Amino acid sequence: MDNKTRYGFIKDEKGWEEFLKRERIRDYSQVHVPAARMKTWTKAAFLFLRIYIIVMVALIILGFLHVL
Amino acid sequence: MSNFDINAKLNELPIDMRRRAIDRLEIARLRRSKRGIAKLMLFLALLGPGILVMIADNDAGGVITYAQSGSIFGIGFFIPLLVLMIPVAYMVQEMTVRMAAVTRRGHAEMIWRRYGSFWGAFSLADLLIANSLTLVTEFIGITFGLAVFGVPPVAAVAAGAAFITTITLTMRYHTWERASLIVAFINLIFIPLVLFAHPDWSLVASTFLTWHINGGFRPLFIYILLANLGTTIAPWMLFFQQSSEVDKGTVLEDLKSGRRDTLIGAVVMSVVAISIMVFAGTLVFNPGISANVTTAAYDLGNILSVVASKVGMLPVKLFAIGLVDAGLISAIALTASTSWAVGEAFRWPKSINLPFMEGRKFYIPGLVAVFIAAGIVLIPHLPLSFLNITVQVIASIFMPAALLFLLLLVNDKEIMGPHVNRRWENAAIIAIMIVLISMSGLYGISLVFPHILGV
């Protein structure tokens, strides 16, 4: 079965555009993703993350020094 | 008769979009059909990322962890735990399906664009290092498994790398996904393997009522518990499934099937893990001598020697096939995850639907990681334990960050609209996060300071 018969439910240009829009085929590379507005709790979460990372990196350095 | 020519319209699209459009046309056609066979075909067509990510999570390191857990502690504690991990894995991964369907963007891209280049670069660097090192452990598993059949390490590594490269480079997304699902299906070999052990099923069932730790609570138990939790949820899984859903073309209409796919994957992952644990727990676990053992006394070679002495070489060979397969499916997933993340971060092409020449920037990072990992495994006298420690430590550090970004993104009304988490979902995810962060942190600490847990 060729594509024209198989996908006969798309009958015209309008149907094709609707299909592309519904399936968001073109969104994949073309829609802009805006930067987040930092709320207070988001800032707090990132602060926690920075502290956590610093503590873990310090632990790793200490650990490897201990092993070596 | 309409003059509309769908082939001409498809040809107007760039090749990756064209291939995705063809896949989505097929989904739309199956959705319209009332025939039972079409409904079955639709169900099968919408399976993929959820099953792949969950089975790939039972990687070579995971298989070894489950076998060691069963051998050292039996089945009393870990079988109920693994059943409990089904909702945990499902809830975390479901958020990536939802985010992919709503935003049509991968995880790396969302972090980079929403929270800036510092956190984007941090997440990407961490993911790339962890993926590359984990690939080394997959090649170790492939080499170990093929050695059971007398394949020398160089040939095993070359065959593994060639297989992963072929699957990655020669297929478009749909065929790559189907081929990967076949590889994942072989992972189910661990399920019938359990029959060789002739387990006492009433004992297995009773673990849910008695849920206890054989040998009592001791430092080694914490270590093994942390290892099991660490193998159930890993940072690369978030990146892999979200990017995979995006490349597959998942939209909001597919959310229900995406969730079903993830749930099936989580159940299969748990059943495979339980099978390995029951197999090793029945054949190798000995409550009389396991009180003061270490993990070193129960490496995979020793475990398989005991298995061979009790039930012969056939189960050992089947286990080895499963181990090779676990390494291969995880390596395929890690390679794709690396390529997707780099493509998303640098706005490069980012689809398995691209032929190599058009998408070489996309394919090269993943394949470079594969070849580096393959080369490292062949280095004589490789410090494997040091490497393993490094992999686990990086994963431990990255897990809280990955989960935090996931939680922030999935609660971001600006991008998720009405599909943000509900309160009970946030409460459940935060509880999971606290447990995983504590356990991952403790695991990381235990790896660099092993004397703390006495292992």
The whole-number pLDDT of residue B292 equals 66
Q: Does A39 touch chain B (CB under 8 A)?
A: no
pLDDT tens, chain A, 68 aa long: 788 888 989 989 999 999 999 999 887 655 667 888 888 888 898 898 888 888 777 777 776 676 66
How many angstroms separate the CA of residue B114 from the nearest CA in chain A? 4
**Distance of alpha carbon B239 from alpha carbon B124, whole angstroms:** 10
pLDDT tens profile B206-264: 989 988 887 776 667 777 777 787 778 888 999 999 999 999 999 999 999 999 999 99
Q: What domain range includes position A2? A: 1-33
Chain B interface, mutation test: which of A25, A40, A66, most B Cβ atoms within 10 Å?
A25
pLDDT tens profile B46-76: 999 999 999 999 999 889 889 988 998 888 8
A:B CB pairs within 8 Å: 116
One domain for residues A26 and A15: yes
Residue B76 contacts residue B212 (beta carbons within 8 Å): yes
Q: Do A56 and B105 touch (CB under 8 A)?
A: no
Q: Do B397 and A16 touch (CB under 8 A)?
A: no
**Distance of alpha carbon B376 from alpha carbon A51, whole angstroms:** 33
Extract the tokens encoding B180: 């990967």
Residue (of B13, B12, B32, B25) closest to A3 by Cα position: B25
Which ranges in B104-218 belong to alpha helices (H)? 107-147, 153-170, 173-186, 190-193, 201-210
The whole-number pLDDT of residue B87 equals 94
Residue (of B1, B247, B230) closest to B130 by Cα position: B230
Q: Hey, how many other C-beta atoms are within 10 angstroms of the C-beta on B179?
A: 15
pLDDT tens profile B5-20: 999 999 999 999 999 9
B14-18, B276-280, B448-452: least confidently modelled range: B448-452
Question: Chain B contacts of A10, Cβ < 8 Å?
Answer: 4, 6, 25
Q: Do A23 and B401 touch (CB under 8 A)?
A: no
pLDDT tens profile B358-401: 999 999 999 999 999 999 999 888 776 566 666 766 666 677 78
Query: Would residue A33 be called left, alpha or beta, if left means φ above 0 and alpha means ψ between -120 and 50 degrees?
Result: beta
The whole-number pLDDT of residue B240 equals 97
One domain for residues A41 and A62: yes
One domain for residues A43 and A28: no
Q: How many domains does chain A have?
A: 2
Question: Chain A contacts of B119, Cβ < 8 Å?
Answer: 46
Extract the tokens encoding A8: 């006969």
One domain for residues A44 and A21: no
**pLDDT, mean over chain B:** 90
The DSSP output letter for A34 is P
Q: Do A60 and B448 touch (CB under 8 A)?
A: yes
One domain for residues A47 and A65: yes
One domain for residues A67 and A39: yes
The whole-number pLDDT of residue A67 equals 61
The whole-number pLDDT of residue B160 equals 97
One domain for residues A22 and A6: yes
Question: Chain B contacts of A13, Cβ < 8 Å?
Answer: 4
pLDDT tens profile B136-182: 989 999 999 999 999 999 999 999 999 999 999 999 999 999 999 99
The whole-number pLDDT of residue B231 equals 76
The whole-number pLDDT of residue B217 equals 67
Who's near B281: CB < 8 A, 6+ residues apart? B70, B71, B73, B74, B75, B199
- Interface confidence (ipTM) of the complex: 0.88
One domain for residues A29 and A48: no
**Distance of alpha carbon B186 from alpha carbon B178, whole angstroms:** 13
One domain for residues A22 and A44: no
Residue B303 contacts residue B295 (beta carbons within 8 Å): no
Instruction: Give chain B's domains with CATH numbers.
Output: 46-452 (1.20.1740.10)
**B210-221 burial by CB neighbour count: b if 16+ within 10 A, else e?**
eeeebbeeeebb
Identify the band that residue B79 occupies on the pLDDT scale cut at 50, 70 and 90: very high
